[in-house]
Amino acid sequence: MIAAAARELAGQHVCFVGVGLPNIAVNLAQRTVAPDLELVYEAGVFGARPARLPLSIGDPTIVTGSTAVVSMHELFAFYLQGGLIDVGFLGAAQIDRYGNINTTVIGEYARPRTRLPGSGGACEIAINARQIFVIMRQSKRSFVEAIDFRTSPGNLGGAERAERIRREQGWLGRGPSVVVTDLGIYHFDETGEMRLDALHPGATLEQVRASVGWVPRVAAELVTTPAPTAEELRLIRDELDPEGAYTA
Amino acid sequence: MIAAAARELAGQHVCFVGVGLPNIAVNLAQRTVAPDLELVYEAGVFGARPARLPLSIGDPTIVTGSTAVVSMHELFAFYLQGGLIDVGFLGAAQIDRYGNINTTVIGEYARPRTRLPGSGGACEIAINARQIFVIMRQSKRSFVEAIDFRTSPGNLGGAERAERIRREQGWLGRGPSVVVTDLGIYHFDETGEMRLDALHPGATLEQVRASVGWVPRVAAELVTTPAPTAEELRLIRDELDPEGAYTA
Amino acid sequence: MSGKVTTMRDAVAELVRDGDTVAIEGFTHLICFAAGHEIIRQRKRDLVLARLTPDLIYDQMVAAGVARKLIFSWLGNPGVGGLYAIRRRIEAAELGDEPPLEVEEYSHFGMVGRYTAGAANLPFYPLRSYFETDLPKANPLIRPVRSPYGDEIVYAVPPLKPDVAVVHAQRADAGGDAQVWGLLGCQKEAAFAADRVIVVVEELVDEAVVRADPNRTIIPGLIVDAVVVEPFGAHPSYVQGYYDRDNRFYRDWDPISRDPAALQAWLEEWVYGLAGREEYVARLGPERLAAIRPSGSAPSGPVDYGAYR
Amino acid sequence: MSGKVTTMRDAVAELVRDGDTVAIEGFTHLICFAAGHEIIRQRKRDLVLARLTPDLIYDQMVAAGVARKLIFSWLGNPGVGGLYAIRRRIEAAELGDEPPLEVEEYSHFGMVGRYTAGAANLPFYPLRSYFETDLPKANPLIRPVRSPYGDEIVYAVPPLKPDVAVVHAQRADAGGDAQVWGLLGCQKEAAFAADRVIVVVEELVDEAVVRADPNRTIIPGLIVDAVVVEPFGAHPSYVQGYYDRDNRFYRDWDPISRDPAALQAWLEEWVYGLAGREEYVARLGPERLAAIRPSGSAPSGPVDYGAYR
């Protein structure tokens, strides 16, 4: 899952790094398929070269040796809203078929069953980053027909409306382009809906169907994700996450 | 004139320094009556301690040894608009009896007889600094019944309207409080109009009346400005303006 | 510049009042736990706590009962999990008939914009966020505003002007001129927006040190009411160049936060039971402090401002 | 990061096009006269010149006929007097039947706000200025906007997105990561707002120098198209720590600017007649350069970012 997400970053240039799984995926990508990847941390760092994998996204290791450290105002206003971010990498608690994301509450907002972290920067990342990568584990509880709260807009009710609104409102973002889960890789088709394009080694279509709250579209030419290479595994296990904080 | 303007700064704390005569007056005040005066330069300096008198207001001597150097955005947004400036010190090409100031054009805006520098920061200084000191030479051409262009608002058409608008619009500034000229010192009375309160040594009421474009109000107890002290003159001539750029 | 140096106890006693809106800012970096603990110790009440990321410090403060409301944008223990003391005051099943903790919720840029508008005395701050989300419904203070140039709509957030802002910095002089390197977060904006400002530093330095490098000053003493010298005052958060983030503490917090009794015992041991940060640091012990020492030095190198006489 | 180092001639030839909106920013500090002169030499036409303070450089450029319009907030020779080449293109008596230079006029904060909105991709920037003045009448792009929180009105300015921004800096690496100390003006905002960015530096440094002090970086190479190494490229403006403002030059400009023939002769001698800045510096001569040397050094001192492995 982490290796697959990292590989999707090949060819990308400037990536906004989220807390959690995106953090390790992006750091793996910089060490493998995208050595020129510029890491942007919402904490106010451009061009980070973390010497170790930070647990949080505001670790001192992302500062030392970076290209530029700026205020959060500048980071959000000039880098993100100004349109310099190619890929915003987000996690999610719930996602729907159109890539709309909930990270706010499960249940009603006023009296939630589960209080989640909320937006952080996700809402403005979803709108202003040129494209959005999502990384999350999938289940009937996370891949749902209707999310309980829309924290970050995806393709709204479908591509047609989403594209019209992006155009009318002058959004720079084109919305979600990839979702990587523990079972496979999804891209978005012309209707704006998620489509399973690759299954990870060992995962089955049955598992996928049993962990999606709608009938998922599946690519005509469904492929199998190449297994993590020895080098990817070594980097993850020995260098990036020796204590298993992300991968245990 | 310069010494008189400097003395008016006694008791003030944070002063926004304008180009030209305000620059020398404020630097003199910091060396005499107001040693704790914090000089703020719109170029982005707080707590300047210029080792020499700068010709412009963006000289390297205002940076070295200062307390803080910030972007112009921060200077204008947080220091000025945020309400931290006690005194904004302005020059003027034309002023009316209510302290409204023109530094933009003489004649019509579209085809001016004389093109003046324009606002610079003066317009927002007039609105956001707690009070405004004006320093300028007076003549029938500069002290006029009606200014050709209102660059910086003073007491508008009188104190009543000015106070209402300041209250309604939430201005932090209370408007002009002192005008120092080559002939005397004016303050503003309860109607918002300029009143001559002191004549410089050697200046006469006749000279004043001959160089004001309206019938100027004169204080019942008109006093004579104390002559510049030997120390003030020494500071101006030897230290601040040895080449006579300001005082020739 | 007159001296403003005081103790944390006096600074909090004098400057933090019941009912105040308090912002202890710092984005992972420079979070002043020492000030939060002193506020708990002095049993302040009905505070409105503002922070982008409430982090462990507001979890502790909410658990201690100092807060009536939270203004925030991301509620979690970064890379670890939840802040359970706060969640217990929000989630339906935990609450029963108890009134919930009030929450007022934005995005990160929304919170930064709120402080910025507060600092700049603007009635609103416009940003490109919130379109087509449920956030403006959840928080009616997030409002659309039409551009005066064409029909474009953006969203706005209102100014936030805390009664008190606490800013932790590497160093300041006795007048409160504070300098920071590494992550800057939005402490500058929060401080300029606030009515009162407490600066807490690792080191008190001579004014000449500040004036030797004026571009590093993040806030001037002009807006500072108190300067507190409190080494390790940001632990378990960190101070660039001084000590590392204590990730072990963040991980260890998870089970404590989940268990109300464990949390109260922790507060007894580490907050109520101690006189202040000095005792806290002694209790951490030399091994723990050694573990968060940077692995080496990484000097910036000097630049020359030049003398101009 | 790939190298972007080139010559001023190539940078201007490739990146500045007739009709462009060009911002050579720098508030008294770091005004890149070298770029302005090269634009004159290459006889660019119909440029829209944006700067808070047009200063001598735009007086020279307007005199040379490169500009059709000026966007500004303060038009003068600071501490000396006027910019007469520009005034001759504005004042009625001088113009006769000639069409005037177009002008679009703001206040300083308005100009800063315009760049800020441009950099942040906002449709407008709100500020507390212009109330009860004639500026919104003179420039209808200054417009009122109502706060969505109550009835309060503030003014707004529209975004300014130059086609090209020129930023002079003390140092940058080959990728364009540029560092500045001393006055920052609004170069950062102008650069982020611009479509193309030329960075001009006193010194090219290794990337490691930049990365040793990331808080000093004002713009990242990410937004930079060309890096030009041009020592003394800001003369008669100055570079903090490198050379002083040449006030004599500013004073000497007054009679030249007043006299069209003298001004054209000056342009012949100092711009058209020279291949570039290197020849300009040689012509200034060692005495003149010695006169603008700082009177001493004023080192910042280093700070420690700490290594975290």
| Angstrom distances, CA of residue C239 to CA of A58, C77, C189, C191, C234 | 11, 18, 19, 18, 7
Q: What is the pTM of this model?
A: 0.97
**DSSP-assigned states of every residue in C207-253:** HHHHHT-GGGEEE-GGG--EEEE-TTTTTTSBBTTTB---HHHHHHH
Q: Do B69 and C119 touch (CB under 8 A)?
A: no
B94 with B135: CB under 8 angstroms? no
In chain D, which residue's Cα lies nearest the Cα of C296? D307
How open is the CA angle C114-C120-C121, to the nearest 5 degrees? Answer: 85
D93 touches chain B (CB under 8 A): yes
A60 touches chain D (CB under 8 A): yes
Instruction: Classify each residue of C265-277 as buried b or exposed e, where b means 16 or more C-beta atoms within 10 Å of its C-beta.
Output: ebbeebbeebebb
Give residues 202 to 231 of D whose Cβ lies within 8 Å of A: 210-212, 214-215, 217, 219-223
How far apart (Å, rounded) are the C-alpha atoms in residues B62 and D183? 9
Tell me, what's the ipTM? 0.97
**Chains touching C (3+ CB pairs < 8 Å):** A, B, D
Chain C: nearest CA to D62, how far in angstroms? 30
All structural domains of chain D? 5-109+160-292 (3.40.1080.10), 124-157 (no CATH)
Q: Which of C160, C215, C246 is best to mutate for the D interface (most D CBs within 10 A)? A: C215
Give residues 33 to 72 of C whose Cβ lies within 8 Å of D: none
Distance of CA D260 to the CA centre of its chain: 24
Residue of B102, B93, B85 lying closest to B41 (CA atoms): B85
Please give the single-letter amino acid code of residue D1.
Answer: M
D271 with D64: CB under 8 angstroms? yes
In this complex, how many residue pairs, one in chain B and one in chain C, have their CB atoms less than 8 Å apart? 74
pLDDT, tens digit (0-9, with 9 covering 90-100), for A28-81: 999 999 999 999 999 999 999 988 888 787 899 999 999 999 999 999 999 999
Per-domain residue ranges for chain B?
Answer: 2-240
Q: Which residues are paired to D81 by β-bridges?
A: D77
How open is the CA angle D215-D217-D223, to the nearest 5 degrees? Answer: 140
A29 with A6: CB under 8 angstroms? yes
Among the options B42, B124, B193, B232, which is catalytic?
A: B42
B56 touches chain C (CB under 8 A): no
How far apart (Å, rounded) are the C-alpha atoms in residues D309 and B181? 65
Q: Do C189 and A69 touch (CB under 8 A)?
A: no
Cis amide leading into D236 (omega within 30): yes
Give residues 122 to 141 of D whose Cβ lies within 8 Å of C: 122-124, 126-128, 141
How far apart (Å, rounded) are the C-alpha atoms in residues C60 and A78? 34
CATH 3.50.50.60 fits A2-240, yes or no: no
In chain C, which residue's Cα lies nearest the Cα of D244? C308
Q: Residue B16 is inside which H or E element, if any? A: strand B14-17
Residue of A138, A135, A147, A133 lying closest to A96 (CA atoms): A147
C127 touches chain A (CB under 8 A): yes
How far apart (Å, rounded) are the C-alpha atoms in residues C63 and C268? 12
Query: In chain D, helix, strand, coil percent, each to 5?
Result: 35, 20, 40
Chain B: nearest CA to C162, how far in angstroms? 14
Q: Do C78 and A23 touch (CB under 8 A)?
A: no
A123 chain-C contacts, CB cut-off 8 A = 107, 129-130, 133, 135
A64 chain-D contacts, CB cut-off 8 A = 305-308
**Chains touching A (3+ CB pairs < 8 Å):** C, D
pLDDT, tens digit (0-9, with 9 covering 90-100), for B159-185: 999 999 999 888 999 999 999 999 999
The average pLDDT across B81-91 equals 94
C125 touches chain A (CB under 8 A): no
pLDDT, tens digit (0-9, with 9 covering 90-100), for C133-189: 999 999 999 999 999 999 899 999 999 999 999 999 999 999 999 999 999 999 999
Kindly state the DSSP code that residue C99 receives in the 8-state scheme.
P
How far apart (Å, rounded) are the C-alpha atoms in residues C65 and B193? 56
- Listed in sequence order, the residues at least 6 apart from C136 whose beta carbon sits closer than 8 Å to its beta carbon are C130, C142, C143, C144, C155
How would you write the pLDDT of chain A (248 residues) with one tens digit per residue?
889 999 999 989 999 987 778 888 988 999 999 999 999 999 999 999 988 888 787 899 999 999 999 999 999 999 999 999 999 998 899 999 999 999 999 999 999 999 999 999 999 999 999 999 999 999 999 999 999 999 999 999 999 999 999 998 889 999 999 999 999 999 999 999 999 999 999 999 999 999 999 999 999 999 999 999 999 999 998 888 887 777 76
**DSSP-assigned states of every residue in B81-120:** TTT--SEEEE--SEE-TT--EE-SEEE-SSSEEEE----T
In chain C, which residue's Cα lies nearest the Cα of A75? C109
State percent of chain C over pLDDT 70: 99
Give residues 192 to 221 of B whose Cβ lies within 8 Å of D: none
Does residue C2 have a pLDDT over 60? no
Which among C141, C241, C309 is the nearest to D306, CB-wise? Answer: C241
State percent of chain A over pLDDT 70: 99
D147 with C146: CB under 8 angstroms? no
Residue B42 is a catalytic residue: yes
B68 touches chain C (CB under 8 A): yes
